[in-house]
Structure 1
């Protein structure tokens, strides 16, 4: 009664198949109740859900706890930290819900991950806002990059969402994977320029900033995350052995959550201990350049998700206008029958 029937990879439509994951798939036509039940059953998505749901609860608690320490409502200097924490909660919640409900239908699967990509993009601009007002090296404040950083970060965040969503069209899996990886790597690398410069200057000048180590740790985790995403290690060397526990996406989630915690601790230290200097020499946060930029990216991302959610039903649009340039299109996956644990013809 409290379990759902699970399937092997050869019983699933192609859109639901994951590389090197052989078993423990949920029905591609699950009900909402079956999705909720699967939270407590050993499926290949269970730990994908919990490895971001538990961090979501932790960072939500941090948001509320810090709101009592720092006056988020009245102190504009704390607004970048506030929007950063909101974006962290957003990407974690978007990730865990996407993994929980992506088996409702083929269309729902695409839409779930559209929201996931938008949430990651929103987190990117949240981090960029915090970097702008707390992390920039002292010698860079007032320079060209300092003044143009947030507009470029906002544009790259929205373009990231568009590019990542478009990667769900087509049948060339390697190209789709590369496009998705590049979609997130480019804005990450741009957003990290002030952090990389700060780390270099801190190391070369032997500065005593206590934020150096957590900043460095979260920066060094990034290539590990990219490696797991690109290679599907360790399941690639033992298909079927890591279907439930230990596959790359779970490790990816854990590393991302740990890096985010380091990032938060470093940002809090910078915000508190650099306040006097930044208030005197830097640009003070305003509503427009903190919460306003975050709201702009959030709104733009929701429009992108809506547009792609409609277009995914009409794939001929991409077949006609992008198929020749990027990759050929495929028709809708045929669902041969897995509806809530029983064979069922797709309607």
Structure 2
């Protein structure tokens, strides 16, 4: 049976004291009263489901109890979910909106705002910014598409999940390479060694990402750990830079303060995602009346659960990386090439 989010049921109960979750046999359930009523939001109610009402292939995070779009078997029906609130809405728009504007903002910046120095090295410098912008766009667009279409079917959801993870690999790979190309411009051997290592690690992650077992629920901690370690591989050029140039110079060369902040957001988001925090704090049993009687039940179902926090942190981390990349560009021209 399809139902509305827990918060909606509680609000309806507060308005209608005749609806009692402890009613006896033969009486209509709160959901039945609501769905059969003339309430203008009943259409929304019929679109959403509880976790225990989902098919097994849709069951991922049992700490999120309500607000699900049940399997549609229709691309059109899945796309229509963009127009109403459910527990994937924030996941979708937190990446759909940035993916729609990030590339164009970067394109505008490098053509109209970026300082072009007398020792400008050519179009590849702008292309280095562009490849990072494309990676951000691809990653976040694949993410938003996946979260929109994951209600379609098991096959579509599984394929979309692989694209989502692949987008993460692309973003990490391009992010690391973009810094290396600027920060190690005057050290060609080290530059290409670090680029090759990044591509190797990215390839390994891609192989795991495209493996059919990788997207299963029990691999969630492994997925988070893999992406964290891949991101932390970006510390190798930094550590080597400290050895060769010293702490202060390396910090300026590579925009280290921004990279550290970027890492904090990426890792924090991944850890929260793997731990399913904070929604695990409000976990209750599946049965609807248990949800209604627990004042905390469903608190993070629609807004505030771990995946949404991870999405927001990814956007913030990408912006921190952009600031690091701009700093690398200016240091290259003001110091390395001066």
Q: Hey, what does 2:329 align to over in structure 1?
A: 271
- CA, structure 1 residues 212+151, in 2 after alignment: closer, same or farther (shift >3 Å)? closer
Question: Hey, which bits of structure 1, 4+ residues long, moved more than 6 A?
Answer: 199-203
What is the rounded CA distance, in whole Å, between the counterparts of 1:214 and 1:170 in structure 2?
31
Aligned with residue 152 of structure 1, among 171, 183, 197: 197
Aligned with residue 315 of structure 2, among 236, 245, 257: 257
1:205-220 to 2 correspondences below 5 Å: 205=248, 209=252, 211-220=255-264
What is the rounded CA distance, in whole Å, between the counterparts of 1:96 and 1:192 in structure 2?
29
Root-mean-square deviation (CA, aligned residues, Å) is 3.1
1:44 match: secondary structure: coil
1:37-48 to 2 correspondences below 5 Å: 37-48=80-91
Any stretches of 5+ residues in structure 1 without a counterpart? 281-347
What is the rounded CA distance, in whole Å, between the counterparts of 1:38 and 1:142 in structure 2?
50
1:25-40 to 2 correspondences below 5 Å: 25-40=68-83
Q: Hey, what does 1:104 align to over in structure 2?
A: 152
**1:65 equivalenced with 2:108 (yes/no):** yes
What is the rounded CA distance, in whole Å, between the counterparts of 1:75 and 1:170 in structure 2?
39
- CA, structure 1 residues 242+267, in 2 after alignment: closer, same or farther (shift >3 Å)? same
**1:10 equivalenced with 2:58 (yes/no):** no
Q: Hey, what does 1:242 align to over in structure 2?
A: 300
Aligned with residue 92 of structure 1, among 133, 140, 154: 140
Normalising by structure 1, report the TM-score: 0.70
1:28 match: secondary structure: coil
Say which is worse superposed, 45-54 or 148-157, in terms of deviation.
148-157
Say which is worse superposed, 258-267 or 3-12, in terms of deviation.
3-12
1:76 Cα deviation (Å)? 1.8
Any stretches of 5+ residues in structure 2 without a counterpart? 1-41, 284-297
Structure (1 or 2) with the larger CA radius of gyration: 2
What is the rounded CA distance, in whole Å, between the counterparts of 1:202 and 1:95 in structure 2?
38
What is the rounded CA distance, in whole Å, between the counterparts of 2:313 and 2:320 in structure 1?
11
Deviation readout 1:80-99 (Å, 9 max, x if unpaired)? 22111111111011111111
